[in-house]
Amino acid sequence: MLELLKQVTDPKSIIQYGGLFMLLFVMFAETGLLIGFFLPGDSLVFISGMVCISKPELLGVSIFELIILLSCSAICGNIVGYWFGSKVGPPLFDRKDSIIFKKKYLEITRQFFAKNGGKTLVIGRFLPIIRTFAPILAGVLKIDFKFFMLLNIVGAFAWISILTLLGYYLGTYTVVTENVEYIVIGLIIITLIPIVRTYQKVKSAK
């Protein structure tokens, strides 16, 4: 069980054992399902770009095809998240914590919405946890669907394009491919900083 969990949350294992299909599924799940908050979004997108140039046979698509496919998965994931939020509505805030739901993550995302408004759907693409809960909260708040879709599409293509192209071009350097684990850790730390700050504000406000 632990080995399976490790493979599901490890970017290299996802691509090596699951290929393009698993990559797209994880991208969909991470942006559209409550369980997606623990999946390796940023690092997975970055490494997929590296794989596209270093081991293209693992994915079997060009970098531009990869960007389109990943973006479409991320867009569809957000639509599902929005639909879920619109169906559940405000009672979601009263839901008790479980393995797949943490109320504090919803509160962090709400704080982000309060500060950034609809831009959260774009900025949040680059931030773990918020990336998963932003479309759900947009559904709860009944944000106009056309406006939501505009930000959904812009955010998805911006996030996917930047990280895949970054991985694609940096993947040509040996020093990068030999130290990819440290780069991934750096990505995680950088993207978690805004989350930690927002969480501290949520705690201090209580």
pLDDT at 113 exceeding the cut of 80: yes
**Residue entry with tokens 């409550």:** 34
User: How many domains does the chain divide into?
Assistant: 1
pLDDT value for 18: 76
pLDDT value for 124: 87
Question: What are the percentages of helix, strand and coil residues in the chain, rounded to 5?
Answer: 85, 0, 15
pTM over 0.85: no
Domain range for 108: 2-205
Residue 54, both tokens: 């270093």
Q: How many CA atoms lie within 13 A of 88 on its CB side?
A: 19
Q: Is 141 helix (H, G, I), strand (E, B) or coil?
A: coil
Mean pLDDT of the chain: 81
Where residue 75 falls (left for φ over 0; alpha for ψ -120 to 50; beta otherwise) is alpha
42 or 161, greater pLDDT: 161
Q: What is the pLDDT of residues 148-203, one digit of tens each?
A: 999 999 999 999 999 999 989 887 777 777 777 777 677 767 766 666 666 566 55
